[in-house]
Structures are given as C-alpha cells and as structure tokens.
Amino acid sequence: MLDSEELQKKSAGAAKWSLATEVIVKIISPISQLILARLLAPEEFGMVATVTMVVNFADMFADAGFQKYLVQHSFRDKEDLHANANVAFWTNFGVSVVLWCLIAIFNDPVAAFVGNPSLGFPLAVACLSLPLTSFSSIQMALFHRSLDFKSLMPVRLASTLLNFGSTLALAFMGFGYWSLIVGTLAANVVNAVGLTLLSEWKPRFFYSFDLLKAMFSFSGWTLLESFTIWLSTWAGTFIVGHFLGATELGYYKTPITFVSGCFNIITNATTPILFSSLSRLQFDREEYVAYLRRFQFVVALFLVPLSAGIFIFREPLVALLLGDQWGESALMFGLYGLMQGPMIILSHYSSEMYRSLGRPRVSTLVQIVFLFLMTPLMAVAANQGFDAVVWAEAVSRLILIVINQIVPHFVVNISFGKTIRALKEPIVCTLVMCAFAWLTYGLVANSWAGIALDIVGCIVVYFVVCLALPKSRSVLLKLAKGAGLRKVTE
C-alpha cells in the first residue's frame, strides 16, 4: 500500500497529465458547441439530449459498478486484479450487447416513452455506444487505479479531435442531430481500440462466478447508486421534455452542457485522482480528512469565482457563445453556473468520499432522499412554465448540497461549519469580486469592449484579494511555480 508521501507524489504527476488533457479537451468542446449552436436549432439539441439520456441509462447497467470496484478494492496481487478485471469485462460486454439488442428491437416504444416517438431508429444507432464503451471501461478503471493519466492522454485527445471533426463536417453538410450521434460513435471506436492497445491488461477467456458474486456485493450498491444518480441527473430532462417539448428542452439542456464543460476542465482532471487517493487513505482517517480538506480548498479557489462570474455575466456569455436564438436560456445558464461550483465541492466530492470508503449505499440513500424532494418540485414547476423550471433546478441543487453536508457529519464526522471555515478565503475573495462587478457592470453593459474589461477587472480584483490572504497566497504561489498537487496540498 502506498504511504501518504508516495501517494501525494503520484497524485502530483497524475494531476499534471490529467489537467493538461482536460484543458485541451475542454477547449475543443466549447468551440464545437459554439459552432453547432449556430448550425442546429434548439429542438435538435433537445432531441439529442433525449437520446443521450437513454444511452446513459443503458450504459449504467452495462457497467454494473465494476469500474468503481476495480479502483476502490484492495487486491492480493496483480494476478488477482487481472482476474477480477476479466470477469468485469465479460460481464460488461455481455450485458451491453443484450441491452443494445433490446433497445434496437423495441426502439419505437422506448422513444415514445421518453417523449420523442420519431427518434426510434436514431436511438437504436446511438446505442451502439454500449458495446463500444464496454471495450474501454475496464481499461480506463485500471489506468485510474494506478493514477496513470499520462497513458490516457493520447487516446483521449484523438477521440475528442475525431468527434470534433466528424460532428462539424456532418453538421455543415446538413445532417442535423445525426452529426452529434455519429461523432460520439466515432470517438467511442477510438477509445475502445486505443485503450485496449495501450493497456497492460488484455481481455482473455476467463470467468468466475465466485469472483462475480464477490464483486457484486460492492457493485450491486454501486449500480443502485448509479441508477439513482442517473435519475437525479436526467429527471429534469425527462420532465421538461414531457411537459414542455423539444425546444424548451434545448433551452434547458444546452446551457447545462456548456456550463458543465467549463467546470469539467478541473473536475474531470481531479475527481478520479481524489477518488483513487482517498481509497488508498481510507484506513488513516486523520490523513483522509486532511487530504479531502486540502483538495476542496485548492479546487474552490477556482470554481467558486467561476460560478459567480458565470451568473453575473450570463447574458453576454449566452449571446457570445450560443447566439441570439438562445436568449431564453440566459437565466438557466447563469443559475446553473452559480450552483455548479458549490455542487462539485460540497456535494459531488461527498459522493466520491462515500465510494472511497466502500460505502456506496450511503450515496444511494442520499440520492433517493433527493429524488423524493426534487421530482415533485420539478414536475410542479414544469406546469408553471420554463422560468419556474429554471428556479426549481437551482433550488433542487441547493437541497442536494444541504443533504450532502448533513450526511458526512455522521459518516466521517465532518461538520458543515468546519468545511465552510476551511473554505472561507475563496468565499471572501469571491464576495469582494461580486461587489466590484455590482458597482461596474451597469456602466459597461452596453459595450462588448466594456464587458470584456469588466471581466478582466473582476479576475484581477479576485486574485489581488487572494494574494492578500495567507492560505490562498501560499497555494497560488506554489501553483505559479509549478509545484503540483503534492506540494500544494501539504
């Protein structure tokens, strides 16, 4: 087992490669979305959101939680790890093929159930992603377990570039939502081939029901947790699509995609590292909590002001990134951005904590409670119109944050008060930045040059205040010197 110092050293290297990959990928993704928003109508984005919802649902059952098991579990040796990987691989592949066949056969009823009866055939084609992702999911888990993000970088970039090129080419040729479906399939092919070639472990014909039984004792709860997370993630999409239609669904889902892309530059780079690191530290509770606090602080330095900035400048950002036809989505864009940073730091990371302790059932119960509160709230709001849905979405995220701050008090003895006190510097710096924006934004709102200068001014004010506070200054100076995650979290 890795000691704390060795783990921090590996985390530092993993963070550099993971963050470099995510920065490049997430620069490409918004560029693609920016162009597509001007080529495709809102209802076409809404139709793709419906297809993606079904694919993600099926993919969740195909994986059955085995990725998390392979990362979190302690194995006797490499041979034991590879034996479990084989069982997970063949189980994933078999289930994914069965699910794809069922969706292909019953594509029209499934499409009608999710509110888009005309999407039967596109849904069947899109679900080809299921057997393709099963070829890469286990390899991905093994790379994450070993914190080897360097090897993942070329495959991730190749798949992203292929997705980018093929999607835009087809969109320019007038293929509509098919361009998004085909681009995703092309990326999945590259992932499946690339990760299989790079992985030290290769699938072989071995299977053990005893191993499957042992894995499912953990993965069964993880699967149920994934199902509840899928429900809470996509319930809004289903409700909006069912009650309001494809156009409103486009206004609802496209801002989520754009804003999530901004935050995912950091979160996709750090969450696998956090989960792997906490899994290795699960038996040292004091260092476990200390590592989690340091991690939250570093991430909060960037996500808290980003959330506030997106809300403040929501209207010019929507006009710039999406175009005039998306003006109705400005409030959704801003409120989702405002809640996203706190959601990641105070809720999403809590879920990673439960899993790293081998207690996915806790996360499952959290999601069930959240669903009982969120679903009726969203349904009532949908009957009141799109604006009500936007506010209900923000309130539901606040509810999830509250739940995920109460539960850790009983699971790991982490109090919400101590968490907020640990994050007080990023919060104070962001409040000062917001005060500056409140004083200046009204003076420059009618000029693109003025808005750009105001954004730059907010960034400068934020980091000047950060440098005046001891802990924030220490972290930023270490990052500026390229110290990496190890020294930053010391």
Domain boundaries, the chain: 40-207
Q: What is the pLDDT of residue 431?
A: 95
Q: Which residues contact 408 (CB under 8 A, 6 or more apart)?
A: 350, 353, 414
The pTM (predicted TM-score) of the whole model is 0.66
Q: What is the pLDDT of residue 486?
A: 47
Q: What is the pLDDT of residue 31?
A: 65
Q: Which of 477, 148, 419 is nearest to 297 (CA)?
A: 419
- Within the chain, what is the greatest distance between any pair of CA atoms? 69
Q: For residues 276 and 147, is the Cβ–Cβ distance under 8 A?
A: yes
Q: For residues 160 and 29, is the Cβ–Cβ distance under 8 A?
A: yes
The H-assigned helical ranges of 244-383 are 246-280, 285-312, 314-321, 330-343, 349-356, 360-382
Q: What is the pLDDT of residues 338-385, one digit of tens each?
A: 999 999 988 888 888 887 777 777 878 888 888 889 889 989 998 888
Within a 10 A sphere around the Cβ of 490, how many other Cβ atoms?
11
Angle at 267 between CA 26 and CA 432, to 5 degrees: 95
Q: What is the pLDDT of residues 202-227, one digit of tens each?
A: 888 888 888 877 777 666 666 677 77
Q: What is the pLDDT of residue 306?
A: 93
Q: What is the pLDDT of residue 1?
A: 46
Residue with tokens 């992603």: 129
Q: What is the pLDDT of residue 305?
A: 93
- Residues of the chain short of pLDDT 70, as ranges, are 1-65, 68, 71-74, 114-116, 146-151, 217-223, 481-490
Q: What is the pLDDT of residue 57?
A: 65
